[in-house]
Amino acid sequence: MNKNIFVGFLLIVIGIILITQRTLGIDINIWNYLWPFFLIVPGITIHYNFFAGSDKSSSLIIGGILLTYGLLFLFNTITNGIYHREIYFVYPLGIGIGFFENYIFGNRDNRNLMVSIIMIVISIYMALKQILPEFYNIREYLFPVFLIIFGVYLLFKNRR
Tens-level pLDDT at each residue, the chain (160 residues):
566 777 778 778 878 877 887 787 776 677 777 889 889 988 998 888 888 887 777 788 899 999 999 999 999 988 888 888 888 888 999 999 999 988 888 878 788 888 899 999 889 888 887 877 766 666 677 777 777 888 887 777 766 5
Calculate the CA dihedral of residues 67, 69, 71, 74 and round it to 10 degrees. -140
Contact status, residue 150 vs residue 143, Cβ threshold 8 Å: no
Q: What is the pLDDT of residue 159?
A: 62
| Residue 82 and residue 70 share a domain | yes
Q: What is the pLDDT of residue 3?
A: 64
Conformation bin of residue 81: beta by default, left when phi > 0, alpha when psi is -120 to 50: left
| Residue 48 and residue 27 share a domain | no
- Residues 6+ positions from 70 with CB-CB distance below 8 Å: 36, 37, 38, 39, 40, 41, 43
Terminal alpha carbon distance of the chain: 48
| Residue 114 and residue 78 share a domain | yes
- Residues 6+ positions from 49 with CB-CB distance below 8 Å: 55, 59
How many structural domains are present in the chain? 2
Instruction: Show the beta-strand stretches assigned E in 27-72.
Output: none
What's the one-letter identity of residue 152?
Answer: V
Q: What is the pLDDT of residue 84?
A: 81
Q: What is the pLDDT of residue 27?
A: 67
| Residue 118 and residue 59 share a domain | yes
Contact status, residue 44 vs residue 31, Cβ threshold 8 Å: no
| Residue 78 and residue 28 share a domain | no
| Residue 28 and residue 62 share a domain | no
| Residue 39 and residue 4 share a domain | no
What's the one-letter identity of residue 154?
Answer: L
| Residue 102 and residue 149 share a domain | yes
Domain that holds residue 26: 1-32
Q: What is the pLDDT of residue 65?
A: 93
pTM of the complete model = 0.69
Q: What is the pLDDT of residue 144?
A: 77
| Residue 69 and residue 44 share a domain | yes
Q: What is the pLDDT of residue 158?
A: 67
| Residue 104 and residue 50 share a domain | yes
